[in-house]
Every structure is written in C-alpha cells, then in structure tokens.
Amino acid sequence: MARLFYSERGDHIESTEPVRVSRYRGITRLNHWITAGSLILLALSGLAFFSPSLYFLTGLFGGGQIARWLHPILGVVLFLSFALLFLQMWRLNLPRPEDTTWVTRIGDVVTGHEERLPELGKYNAGQKFIFWAMSGLILVLIVSGVMMWQQFFDGLVPIQIRRIATLIHALAAVAIILVFILHVFAAFWVRGTLRAMTRGDVTGGWAWRHHRKWLREVAGRGDRGPAE
C-alpha cells in the first residue's frame, strides 16, 4: 500500500451521500475517554491539594485521605493510557511546512476564514500543539509525581529534590489544566468535531473545511482501507 502522509490506515469513507468519514476507531475512542476521564479526576483531586479554597473537592472522592491515595494511582492510569494514544497519534502530529503558515495566519483561524489557510492533513498546528504539550506535561507530571509519592516512593529522592519536584508538579499541573481548557474549548468551538470522538466519524463538509488534505488522501484510496 502507498505511504500515507496525512491519514491513518483505518481512516475511511463511511458513506458518500452524505459523505461521512471515519476518523477514530472504537478502541481509540475508548482510549481517549479513559485518558480524558483520568485527567479530569486528576485535576479535581490535585486542585484540592493545590489551594485550601478547593480542598472541598476531596469530598468528591470520599475525603482527603482517599483523594491523596487515589491521585497518584490515577496518574499511572493516565500515563499508561496516554502512552497508548501517543503511539497511535504521534506520526501525524509531526510538524509540516503548512503548520508555519497556519500559525502565522492565526487571525484567520480565530475569525473562521479557513479559505485563506493552507489545506491541512489530519491535524492542524493547534491540535499538534495540544498533542505535544500534553505529551511533555504528562511526562513531567509522572516523573515529578513519583518523586512526591510518599506512600510508595518516600525515600526515592532527597528532600531538597522533592521540593523542586513539588514546585514543578504544581506548575505543570496548572499548565496542563490550561491546555485541557483550550482543548475542550476548541473541540466545542469547531462545530462538528466532538462526534469524531463520540461516534467516531465526521461529515464530509467538516473534513473539507478543516482537513482537506486528509480528506483527499482518504478519498483517494477509495474505500479500500482495512475493515475495522
């Protein structure tokens, strides 16, 4: 099979009238929602320790002791789950020349003038930013988090290192929450995107408008993608 530059092998045209394009397999969607769920629970339990004004969030988990116990365990779930997503997605998130143009015309992006932007593959530079920011921050969070993990790793690093790890963990947590907000906002603001992660497909118009190179490549190989 020809090398694919803009799409995954599983992406395929599901129907032609109207056009619907399959974007994520069921297993990828499940993987995504486990990642999302653990990230949200991590943010809620972590924020409870972050600020006394948010300590009440421990109530969601059945108290401070349980939240303290659960948070790092969810961290491991997030890390493993994201690692699987990473393996599926990293290739199409590598930077491409058209990303530079996209970024320099960010004004047209926010005003919705996509006709003035280059045609794009499966991901635009914004989506790629979210992908790499999540990857980097999750790595920072797991490394610093393990150093803070009193229950199982209390003697792992000296206290001075633990202080630095704690500061870094708190900063990285704020950063990943900001990236998360941007991610959710973008998925919602670009109408028709959410269904890619719920039902697994998008409309032809959506693919034409936002990811035309991806659509061309998927359509170009007809419906011959491997069956799910």
Binding partner at 39 among another protein, ligand HEM, none, C-beta below 5 to 8 Å by kind: ligand HEM
Residue with tokens 């058209």: 98
The residues in 145-164 that bind ligand HEM, with binding defined as CB under 6 A, are 145-146, 148-150
Whole-number minimum distance, CB 26 to another protein, in Å?
A: 23
Q: Where are the alpha helices (H) located in 59-158, listed in sequence order?
A: 64-89, 97-104, 106-110, 125-148, 150-153
Binding partner at 219 among another protein, ligand HEM, none, C-beta below 5 to 8 Å by kind: another protein
Q: How far is CA 36 from the centre of its chain?
A: 8
Which of 6, 24, 49, 131: binder of ligand HEM (CB under 6 A)?
Answer: 49
- Surface-to-core class of residue 21, CB atoms within 10 Å of its CB (0-12 exposed, 13-18 middle, 19+ buried): buried
Handedness of CA 201, 204, 208, 212 (dihedral sign): positive
Do 195 and 65 form a contact (C-beta atoms < 8 A)? no
**Known catalytic residue at 183:** yes
Does 219 contact another protein by CB under 8 A? Answer: yes
- Residue ranges binding ligand HEM (CB under 6 A): 39, 42-43, 46-47, 49-50, 68, 71-72, 75, 78-79, 138, 141-142, 145-146, 148-150, 169-170, 173, 176-177
